[in-house]
């Protein structure tokens, strides 16, 4: 029974059994609690997903406990059925299933929120419009038949909810509310949030979700599509309000039309995005390509054509926005000499292995998605751009790996563990490889021999940056760190290139560090990364869910393979080019003022001293 209001919070449960000699009896207990509302810092309140099935009155705990007692054996058998093929697969190392399933702790422990997908509830005193919740005759007739004790309250709350939904419609159109993209007949599965990390309080951090998303895509694909719809809505949203940046002390626009936000916010998710404030992420080079790649992967994995059609305009906008970062018109984007990607204290300049590869793969994905939605002109145009960018990308090849960037700096020749992120995603999506198979294998072998094996004999994972001399790249904090999620991603890339043994040896370093008895005790709080001595940064982090990218590579969904298309000439695409350029010009950012904070000046000076 529920406790009485005002009573002490405490309970005891007991069961009486008669157990014959040499026999076994079981007593089943269930503990449940109901917290139907989610309250955010700005004052908005949402209802949790389970209220769709258990109501919003706060009396659901007893019902949930009852259902758990009745159905727990079925749930347990379903879990065993799901896990059994992987656990019993003798081809897999013993540590792999343990780590694969245990890393899923973060989906529960990572500040996870799953709403009912409806607009937030707000106090009537804050509504600045005239409204009424007066009942129609049918409502009156319905309320007469309500027999349970909460009937009147439920009826009133339902009517208030309907009115609030109508009042919020104009507001939600100007927010990153992906449910607005649902078409007739599609289920509103709700909206999903999880933190970047228990120390990094930003929801659905997108550059990191790029790695972690394989867990949702494989296990909860409808939630994954929900996240992508929210970001598709965000790409089409402009919020001119300002936020102050830590980098240079300047103010930046909260969200720019065409730019994918770094995150969904924290104090007011979906309505006030980009809680991140170190840099202006409108100028980051990895976010938009990652959006295009994830959307295409999720489409081919689910076959959801309505989803593809709904988000396609956002994909086009995301590509058009990036055009301004192709400074010389060769089809390839350039990094701007600051940490303008997920490695946000590791500077990069010019054409880079990481962002450049993502861009090449994203162009191919955009072409493939255009074909699926019937946009023949965009299909050909983005294929043409893909061909151009791919040629430029090959220039980073030095015979053993792809250089970190082409700026000619002291660290341009660093060996980045994550250099083939674009190739990895292209393979995962069933797209054509962005580099030759032989080059991909050679580069990954170089990463294994340098970034993995030269650190504690491969028992720590892959260090992000390694110098050709065999020493870690010490130009930044992140270049000399080992990131658990990136290590899993590199292992997945190896599996895609038929290097499974090498991939498992690479990922085993994370197991040794985090999960093994001889490790550092990081189990169920896997950090973002650690240094070569195992000292961690950012406990409990989103990115390690990328181990499910390994499972995706081992057991990929049935997805259509992209076919080679004939080379296209620019002359045949003049109409498409004119339209694309018109959109790109409208999305171009204003020039930044050249102002650096004391922090940035000291940071740049220190980096030069270290690398000089």
| 286-300, 565-579, 595-609, range with the lowest pLDDT | 595-609
| Of residues 424, 419, 430, 544, the one with CA closest to residue 495 | 424
DSSP run (H or E) holding 80:
helix 60-87
For residue 149, what pLDDT is reported? 47
Residue 158 has pLDDT above 70, yes or no: no
**pLDDT mean across residues, the chain:** 91
Task: State the pairing for strand pair 192-193/239-244.
Answer: unpaired
Contact 260, 287 (CB under 8 A): yes
Q: Distance between alpha carbon 390 and the CA centroid of its chain, in Å?
A: 25
Whole-angstrom Cα distance, residue 569 to residue 187? 43
Mean pLDDT of 506-513: 99
Residue 611 has pLDDT above 50, yes or no: no
Per DSSP, the three-state class of 600 is helix
| 208-212, 255-259, 448-452, 606-610, range with the lowest pLDDT | 606-610
What share of the chain has pLDDT > 90, as a percent? Answer: 82
Q: Could you identify the residue written with the tokens 């009912």?
A: 116
Q: What sign does the CA torsion over 421, 422, 424, 425 have? A: positive
Question: SS3 helix, strand, coil % of the chain, rounded to 5?
Answer: 50, 10, 45
Residue 2 has pLDDT above 70, yes or no: no
Whole-angstrom Cα distance, residue 214 to residue 245? 31
Mean pLDDT of 156-171: 60
Long-range contact list for 460-463, CB < 8 A, 24+ apart? 460/509, 460/512, 460/513, 460/530, 460/532, 460/534, 461/487, 461/506, 461/507, 461/509, 461/510, 461/513, 462/417, 462/486, 462/487, 462/490, 462/506, 462/509, 463/417, 463/532
Whole-angstrom Cα distance, residue 335 to residue 286? 10
State the Cα torsion 265-268-272-278 to the nearest 10°. -40
Q: Distance between alpha carbon 255 and the CA centroid of its chain, in Å?
A: 18
For residue 144, what pLDDT is reported? 46
Q: Distance between alpha carbon 381 and the CA centroid of its chain, in Å?
A: 28
Contact 357, 422 (CB under 8 A): yes
Tokens coding 58 = 């706060």
DSSP letters along 261-303, please? PS---SSSTTTS-----SS-GGG-SSHHHHHHHHHHHHHHHH-
Q: What is the pLDDT of residues 428-472, one digit of tens each?
A: 999 999 999 999 999 999 999 999 999 999 999 999 999 999 999
Question: Angle CA(98)–CA(102)–CA(107) in degrees, nearest 5?
Answer: 155
For residue 598, what pLDDT is reported? 52
Whole-angstrom Cα distance, residue 598 to residue 336? 19
Per DSSP, the three-state class of 539 is coil
For residue 603, what pLDDT is reported? 52
Distances (CA, A) of 297 to 203, 294, 344, 386, 553: 21, 5, 25, 17, 13
| 154-163, 172-181, 600-609, range with the lowest pLDDT | 600-609
Distances (CA, A) of 483 to 10, 117, 519, 530: 43, 34, 15, 7
Count how many Cα atoms sit within 13 Å of the Cα of residue 223 in the half-sphere of its side chain: 20
Sheet with 482-483: strands ordered across: 482-483, 529-530, 536-537
Contact 584, 317 (CB under 8 A): no
Count of residues in the chain: 612
Whole-angstrom Cα distance, residue 227 to residue 20? 54
Backbone angles phi, psi at 240, to 5 degrees: -80, -5
Per DSSP, the three-state class of 427 is helix
Q: What is the pLDDT of residues 126-139, one digit of tens each?
A: 556 665 656 554 54
Residue 491 has pLDDT above 60, yes or no: yes
For residue 59, what pLDDT is reported? 82
Contact 359, 333 (CB under 8 A): yes
| Of residues 287, 286, 236, the one with CA closest to residue 261 | 287
For residue 605, what pLDDT is reported? 53
DSSP letters along 347-386, please? --EESBHHHHHHHHHHHHHHHHHHHHTT-HHHHHHHHHHH
| 53-67, 88-102, 398-412, 594-608, range with the lowest pLDDT | 594-608
Helices (H) and strands (E) in the chain — how many of each?
A: 19, 13
Mean pLDDT of 182-197: 97
- The β-bridge partners of 37 are 47
- The β-bridge partners of 114 are 192
Residue 148 has pLDDT above 50, yes or no: no
Q: Which residues contact 460 (CB under 8 A, 6 or more apart)?
A: 482, 509, 512, 513, 530, 532, 534
Query: Which of 247 and 356 is assigned the larger pLDDT?
Result: 356
For residue 5, what pLDDT is reported? 75
């Amino acid at each position: 029974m529920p406790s009485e209001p005002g009573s002490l919070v405490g309970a005891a449960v007991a069961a009486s059994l008669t157990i014959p000699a040499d026999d076994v009896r079981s007593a089943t207990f269930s503990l449940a609690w109901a917290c139907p509302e989610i309250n955010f810092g700005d004052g908005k309140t949402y209802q949790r997903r389970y209220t769709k099935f258990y109501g919003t009155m706060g009396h659901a705990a007893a019902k949930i406990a009852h259902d758990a007692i009745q159905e727990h054996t079925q749930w347990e058998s379903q879990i065993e059925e799901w896990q059994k093929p992987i656990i019993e697969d003798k081809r897999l190392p013993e540590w792999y299933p343990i780590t694969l399933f245990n890393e899923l702790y973060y989906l529960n422990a990572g500040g996870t929120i799953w709403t009912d997908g409806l607009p937030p509830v707000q106090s009537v005193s804050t509504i600045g419009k005239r409204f009424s919740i007066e009942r129609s005759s049918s409502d009156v007739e319905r309320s007469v038949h309500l027999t349970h004790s909460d009937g009147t309250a439920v009826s009133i709350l339902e009517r208030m909810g309907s009115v609030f939904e109508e009042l919020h419609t104009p507001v939600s159109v100007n927010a990153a509310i992906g449910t607005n993209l649902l078409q007739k007949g599609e289920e509103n599965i709700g909206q999903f949030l999880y933190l970047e990390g228990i120390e990094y309080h930003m929801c659905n951090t997108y550059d990191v979700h790029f790695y972690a998303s394989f867990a949702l895509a494989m296990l909860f694909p409808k939630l994954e599509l929900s996240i992508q719809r929210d970001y598709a809505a965000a790409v089409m949203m402009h919020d001119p309000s300002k936020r102050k940046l830590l980098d240079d002390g300047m103010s930046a626009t909260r969200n720019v039309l065409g730019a994918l936000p770094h995150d969904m916010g924290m104090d007011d998710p979906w309505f006030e995005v980009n809680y991140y404030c170190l840099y202006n992420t409108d100028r980051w080079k990895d976010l938009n390509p990652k959006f295009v790649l994830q959307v295409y992967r999720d489409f081919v994995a689910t076959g959801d054509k309505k989803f593809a059609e709904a988000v396609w305009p956002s994909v086009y906008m995301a590509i058009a926005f990036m055009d301004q970062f192709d400074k010389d018109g060769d089809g390839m984007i350039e990094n701007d000499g600051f940490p303008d990607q997920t490695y946000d204290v590791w500077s990069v300049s010019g054409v880079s292995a990481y962002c450049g590869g993502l861009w090449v793969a994203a162009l191919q994905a955009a072409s493939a998605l255009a074909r699926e939605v019937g946009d023949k002109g965009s299909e050909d145009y983005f294929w043409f751009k893909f061909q151009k960018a791919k040629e430029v990308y090959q220039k980073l090849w030095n015979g053993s790996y792809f250089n970190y960037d082409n700026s000619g700096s002291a660290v341009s020749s660093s060996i980045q563990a994550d250099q083939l992120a674009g190739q990895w995603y292209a393979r995962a999506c069933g797209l054509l490889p962005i580099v030759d198979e032989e080059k991909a294998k050679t580069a990954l072998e170089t990463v294994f021999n340098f970034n993995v094996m030269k650190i504690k004999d491969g028992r720590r994972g892959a260090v992000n940056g390694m110098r050709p001399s065999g020493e870690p790249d010490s130009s930044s904090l992140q270049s000399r760190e080992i990131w658990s999620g990136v290590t899993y991603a590199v292992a997945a890339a190896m599996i895609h290139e038929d290097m499974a043994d090498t991939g498992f040896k690479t990922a085993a370093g994370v197991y040794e560090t985090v999960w093994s008895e001889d490790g550092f005790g990081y189990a169920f709080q896997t950090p973002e990364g650690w240094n070569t001595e195992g000292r961690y940064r950012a406990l409990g982090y989103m990115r390690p869910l990328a181990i499910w990218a390994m499972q995706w590579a081992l057991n990929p969904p049935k997805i259509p393979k992209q076919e080679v298309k004939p080379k296209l000439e620019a002359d045949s695409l003049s109409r498409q080019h004119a339209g694309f350029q018109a959109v790109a010009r409208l999305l171009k950012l204003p020039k930044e003022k050249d102002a650096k904070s004391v922090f940035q000046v000291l940071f740049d000076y220190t980096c030069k001293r270290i690398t000089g």
